[in-house]
């Protein structure tokens, strides 16, 4: 797969869209695992250290997990850009007749963070959206 030049109209290339689908699923998994570990009384950094050496290891988990666990939402890649990219990828998936529920979930979570003023924060701040779902029992659909 080779990335092609960005098409007119702001669309991503298909390869970049596919990468964002993978990254957003990794972000949701990282945020959920941190929330689960916290609720289970497991030290997040110890869990990241152990789990990050096995099959669940990823750049997102190993590099952004510690930042999310520490409440460090400084951007490497901002939520406003991720939300835009996921919207484009979702439109393209729909155009191709693909149902990608993980992409839709991540898009709704990031859109909720964007609406609540977190657009300039890093994508690892996704943990905030899942904490809200857990705290308030709000179904994800109400976050969009």
Residues 78-115 pLDDT 10s: 999 999 999 999 999 999 999 999 999 999 999 999 99
CATH number for the segment(s) 13-143: 1.10.1040.10
Is the pLDDT reported for residue 34 higher than 50? Answer: yes
**41 pLDDT tier (thresholds 50, 70, 90):** very high
Indicate the burial class of 30 (C-beta count within 10 angstroms; 0-12, 13-18, 19 or more): buried
Q: Within its chain, how far is the Cα of 74 from the centroid?
A: 15
The pTM score is 0.84
């Amino acid at each position: 797969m080779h990335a092609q030049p960005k098409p007119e109209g702001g669309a991503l290339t298909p390869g970049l869209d596919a990468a964002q689908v993978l990254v957003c699923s990794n972000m949701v998994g990282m945020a959920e695992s941190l929330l689960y570990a916290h609720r289970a009384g497991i030290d997040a950094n110890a869990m990241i250290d152990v789990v990050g050496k096995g099959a669940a290891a990823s750049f997102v988990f190993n590099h952004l997990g510690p930042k999310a666990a520490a409440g460090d939402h400084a951007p490497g890649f901002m939520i406003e850009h991720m939300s835009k990219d996921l919207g484009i990828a979702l439109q393209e998936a729909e155009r191709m007749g693909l149902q990608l529920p993980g992409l839709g979930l991540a898009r709704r979570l990031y859109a909720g963070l964007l609406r609540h003023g977190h657009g300039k924060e890093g994508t690892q701040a996704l943990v905030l959206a899942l904490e809200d779902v857990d705290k308030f029992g709000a179904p994800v659909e109400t976050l969009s």
